[in-house]
Chains A and B, each alone.
Chain A
Amino acid sequence: MLRVFRDEAGNIELQALPPICADTLIRVPDLIGSDDPRVRSRLLPRVYDEDDEEEQWRRYATPELEHLFRSREEIVQKDLATLEQDSALTFRLVIAGQHLPAWIAALNAARLALFELNELRPQDMESDLPEVEGDGRQLALFRIHNLALIQELLMRAKRRSEPGEVPLDDDPSEGAGGAEADDDLPF
């Protein structure tokens, strides 16, 4: 069963990751770096109604965001190098503490990319897997839900100040205190 620990230095270790989880995590950099127009338009959506203002936005703000997303790909890729088997059927992954904000945002981007690339519909997100047509789309939905679980656990780990195991169920201490700024963001 998946377990998540935070050490003294704030690093996060995921233990007993099922193979499908590990396989999905390996795909995250490629998903967020996908040049598929559906993915690009979702990750960099239109901001202004008026074309001239939007053009200015595309010229000056979009390159900064693209640069940030590429940095995240590299950060995630770097931590994925620690992925290794910790039993015959499971894997472990270590995420550097200062990389947590990048990971949390990257997992969100990967989920959005999977949704777009597999042409899932909003109602599919609320459906049981067998109700979704197509094996590929069912698998994509399964991966989206897997990444959601890991994203949620990493958010809990980020909020914790104490080392130790991050609870998989609801943490009553959640929501206390103010949110910290994301360290990987230049703005």
Chain B
Amino acid sequence: MRRVTTSERTGDDARATWCAPSRSGSGGPLGAPCSWDPLSARASASAVPNGPPRVFAAGESTESESETDTATLTRLGRPWHVVVHDDPVTLMTYVVEVFREVFGYPEGRARKLMLEVHHKGRSIVWTGARERAELYVTKLQARHLLATLERSED
């Protein structure tokens, strides 16, 4: 099970903690809040059996452990971009309709994003927590738009 801290730009609680969709069949449902809070757990990471992966070597000092752990959490907590890429076949009107259906965007915003895809070759159409980003990419691919996920540099 992968756990990440989200800070979505969509107005969701910036400290909400989400469980990744279960890859092994043992996790919670997609996007369901889970009880483990990495912000509070950071101070006692060794006491958390299913905490973030330990990327530091055994024997390192607590301070170094804490610093590395923070870096890991920062990396894991970075939002993800849903990127839609241009393709020469899909109708522009269809792309607008898909953006409205999938994200609930108003016509103007959907059209603006479609034109950005068309003119620039790609557009970041949504940014936020990984689980929701994956869900959006699934929806976009279900409608045959070229969609990918990129970790935000912020």
Contact = CB atoms under 8 A, between A and B. Distances in A.
State the main secondary structure of chain B at its contact with A. mixed
B142 interface: yes
A121 to B, nearest CB: 8
Interface residues of A, number: 37
Kindly list the 7 A-B residue pairs having the minimum CB-CB distance in the complex, ordered from nearest. Answer: A179-B100, A122-B88, A179-B101, A125-B88, A175-B107, A115-B89, A108-B144
A46 interface: yes
B144 A105 contact: yes
14 contacts: A47-B148, A48-B148, A57-B134, A60-B21, A108-B90, A108-B144, A112-B87, A112-B90, A112-B144, A115-B88, A144-B89, A148-B91, A175-B107, A187-B139
A185 interface: yes
B99 to A, nearest CB: 8
A68 B144 CA distance: 12
Interface of B: 21, 23, 87-91, 93-94, 97, 100-101, 104, 106-107, 134-135, 137-139, 141-144, 146-150
Nearest to A144: B89
A109 B107 CA distance: 24
Interface of A: 43-49, 56-57, 59-61, 64-65, 68, 104-105, 108-109, 111-112, 115, 122, 125, 144, 148, 151-152, 155, 175, 178-182, 185, 187
Contacts of B89: 108, 111-112, 115, 125, 144
Nearest to A115: B89
A154 B21 CA distance: 35
B91 A182 contact: no
Given A49-B150, A60-B21, A65-B138, A181 B88 contact: no
Contact of A187 (B93, B107, B138): B138
A120 B142 CA distance: 23
B142 A185 contact: yes
B142 A68 contact: yes
Contacts of A144: 89
Given A56-B23, A61-B138, A152-B91, 10 more contacts: A47-B147, A57-B134, A68-B142, A115-B88, A151-B94, A152-B93, A178-B100, A180-B101, A185-B139, A185-B142
A150 to B, nearest CB: 11
A166 to B, nearest CB: 14
B100 A108 contact: no
Contacts of A109: 144
Contacts of A122: 88
**Most chain B beta-carbon contacts within 10 A, residue among A122, A179, A180:** A179
Contacts of B149: 47-48
Nearest to A72: B142
